Amino acid sequence: MKNRIKQISLVLFGVVVAAGCNDFGDMNVDPNNPSSAQTDLLLTNAQKSISSVVGSVTPALYVQYFAETQYDESSRYQTVQFNFNGWYTGVLKDLNEIIELNETNPEAYIGGGDTANQIAVARILKVYFMQMMVDRWGPLPYSEALQGNENYKPSYDSADAIYADLINELKAAASQINTSATGVKGDIIFSGDMTQWVKFAHTIRARLALRLAETSPSTAQSEFESVAGNLLEGDVFYPYLAESSNQNPWYSRFMTRTDYAISDVMDNYMTPKGDMRLTKYANPAPLQDNGDGVTQMEEVVGHPYSTEEAGDIPNAEVSFPGAAIGAGGPGVGQQDAPLPIVTLAEIHFMLAEAAARGWSVTGDAPTHYGLAIKASWEQWGVYDEAAYNAYMSHADVAYDASNYKKSIGDQKWVALFPQGYEAWAEWRRLGYPELEAHDYPLNPSGQIPLRHAYPASELTLNSASYEAALGLLGGPDDETTPIFWDVD
C-alpha cells in the first residue's frame, strides 16, 4: 500500500511538473486547455472517479451501515431521481478517449504504455463503472453513448443486454493484455502491473456472473467457472493522500460536521456475536470512552437508524465511524486511509456461493465461507485465533448449507463495509440481511429503494429514448422497480 501511495504522489506531482517543465516555446500555451491529451493523465483522472464509488454515502445508508445524525433525508429515501450524466461526461469520456487516441494514432501515445495494454485497461474500467451504473438505474444509453456531437439523444439498451456486452468486453480486454509489454502509465491502482489487471478483469467478470445466477444460471455458471482459477489473490484499495485535494472522502465529511454515525443495526448485529471488526468500523461513543485510545466493543453505541428526530440524540451518546475508514476529521481521522475496491474476503464469498450452487470451483462452500470471514478480520487488523473461532461457532454465524444465501448474505454485508454500492447490490440480489425500511420514510413506497430513477433531464431532453426505456425497464420509473437480476 505504501508503494501505491508513493505512486499516486509521483503521478500527481508529474501533472504539476508537466505544466512547468516544457520547452520555452510553449510559454504562451494555456496549460488548462492543452492541444492534445496525455493518456496517462486521462487514466489517473478516470481512476480517481473510483473514489466516488467506494466512498459513496447514499447506498451505505440504504444498507444501514450508517445512520444520519441530523439531516436524515437520505436515510428516509427522500431523493428518488439521481443524475447519471456526470458519469458519461466525466470518467467514461476519459476512458473512451484513451481508447480512441490509441486506436487512431498509437505512436503519439506510446508514452502512456503499450498500446494494447492502454486500450485494455480503459475497457476494463469502463465495465467497472458501467456495471455500477446498470445496478443503479437499469437500462441506460450504452451502444449509442459517448458519441458527442454526433448523437445528443442516445437510445437506451436493456440492462441484460448491457451486462452481456460487459462480459464480452472483459473477455476481450483480458485477452488483449500483453503482460510482457510495457505496463500502463498513470495507474494509481496497480502501478502498471498488467498481470493484476488480468486478474481484476476476471474478478469483475465473476461479480457480473453471480449477478446473473438467478436469471441466466447456465451463463452465470459458465462465465464464473472460466475465471474462478485466476482471480485476484489479495485486497485492492483505492489510495488516498495526506493532502486536501486527494484525501479520503470520509475524512472530508468530518472536517467540520458529524452527520453520520454507526447505525444501531450494525451495532446490534455485530456486538452480540463478538465481531471485533466493529472496533475498527466505529469509534467509542464519547460518554462510553475510557480514554485509552483503543476502541472496545462495550464502548460502541449505534445511532438509531429509524427515528423521527435524529437531531434530538446527543452526539456524545453515539459512535461515529472509525479512523480506519478515514472518518473523524483533523486530529481524529486518517486523511490518507485507503478504501477497498475489491477484497480477498469478497472473492472467497464469491467462491463460497459458487460452490454452494454446485459450480465447479476449487474448495467447498464452508471452507471459502470461513476463509472469507478470516480474510475480512485480517483486512481490518483484528484477527485473533481464539476470538475468530468463537465467532465462527456462534449459531448465527456458523455456515448453514440449507440456507447459504442467508449465511453468505449476512456475512458479506458485514465484510463489504463501507462499500455501499456493492453491499446494496448484493442485498438486493441475495435478499439478506433482512433489513427493515426506515420507520419514517419520505419516498412514496415507504420501502428501501431497489433502484434509482432516471434524471428529470432525460424526460425533457431525450424524451423519445426515455419513453422507450420505460418499456425495457419493465415497471415504473421509480425506486420500486427492481433491476433485472433482482428476482429474490
**DSSP characters over 139-208:** SEE-TT-S-GGG-SSPPEE-HHHHHHHHHHHHHHHHHH--TTSPPPSS-TTTTT-HHHHHHHHHHHHHHH
Tens of pLDDT along 128-155?
999 999 999 999 999 999 998 888 899 9
Look up residue 354 and give its amino acid.
A
pLDDT band at 314 (very low <50, low <70, confident <90, very high): very high
How much of the chain, in percent, has pLDDT values that exceed 90? 88
Predicted pLDDT at 456: 96
Q: Is the pLDDT of residue 4 over 60?
A: no
Per-residue CA distances from 161 to 99, 123, 128, 158, 400 (Å): 22, 17, 16, 5, 34
CA distance 295 to 469: 49
pLDDT band at 286 (very low <50, low <70, confident <90, very high): very high
Whole-number Å distance between alpha carbons of 357 and 173: 28
Reported confidence tier of residue 170, pLDDT bands at 50, 70, 90: very high
pLDDT for res 45: 97
Are 146 and 218 spatial neighbours (Cβ–Cβ below 8 Å)?
no
Residue 25's pLDDT is 33
* Per-residue pLDDT tens over the stretch 233-284: 999 999 999 999 999 999 999 998 899 999 999 999 999 999 999 999 999 9
Separation of alpha carbons 260 and 21, rounded Å: 44
Indicate whether 10 pLDDT > 80.
no
Q: Is residue 146 within 8 Å of 88, Cβ to Cβ?
A: yes
CB 479 within 8 A of CB 451: yes
Nine-digit cell string for 295 = 476502541
3-state secondary structure of 81: strand
Q: What is the pLDDT of residues 384-409, one digit of tens each?
A: 999 999 999 999 999 999 999 999 99
Say whether pLDDT at 16 is over 60: no
414 contacts 270 by C-beta, under 8 angstroms: yes
Q: Which residues of 438-469 are buried (b: 16+ CB within 10 A; e: fewer)?
A: beebebeeeebbbbbbbbeebeeebeebbeeb
The SS3 of residue 415 is: helix
Give ∠ CA 82-142-45 in degrees, rounded to 5. 70
Q: Which three cell numbers stand for residue 439?
A: 420507520
pLDDT tops 50 at residue 26: no
Identify the band that residue 329 occupies on the pLDDT scale cut at 50, 70 and 90. Answer: low
What pLDDT does 66 receive?
A: 98
In the chain, what are the domains? 1-20+41-54+80-233+453-488 (1.25.40.390), 64-77+241-450 (1.25.40.390)
Asked whether the predicted pLDDT for residue 301 surpasses 70, the reply is yes
Q: Classify the C-alpha dihedral 419-425-430-433 as positive or negative.
A: positive
Of the ranges 36-45, 69-78, 121-130, which is most confident?
Answer: 121-130
Give the angle 400-203-167 at the CA atoms, nearest 5°. Answer: 110
Residue carrying the nine cell digits 470471514:
373
Decide: residue 202, CB within 10 A, 0-12 exposed, 13-18 middle, 19+ buried. buried
Q: What's the chain's average pLDDT?
A: 92
Confidence class for position 48, pLDDT limits 50, 70, 90: very high
Q: What is the pTM of this model?
A: 0.92
- CB 147, CB 154: distance < 8 Å: yes
pLDDT of amino acid 444: 93
pLDDT value at 126 more than 50:
yes
Is 29's pLDDT higher than 90? no
Nearest to 79 by CA among 135, 136, 32: 136
Higher pLDDT, 91 or 17: 91
Tell me the pLDDT tens digit for each residue of 59-104: 999 999 999 999 999 999 999 999 999 999 999 999 999 999 999 9
State the average pLDDT over residues 162-174: 99
Cα 448 to Cα 428: distance, rounded to the nearest angstrom: 10
Give the residue-averaged pLDDT of 183-209.
99
Q: What share of the chain is helix, strand, coil (3-state, %, to 5)?
A: 55, 5, 40
- Rounded to whole angstroms, what are the CA distances from 396 to 124, 386, 392, 403, 409? 38, 18, 9, 12, 12
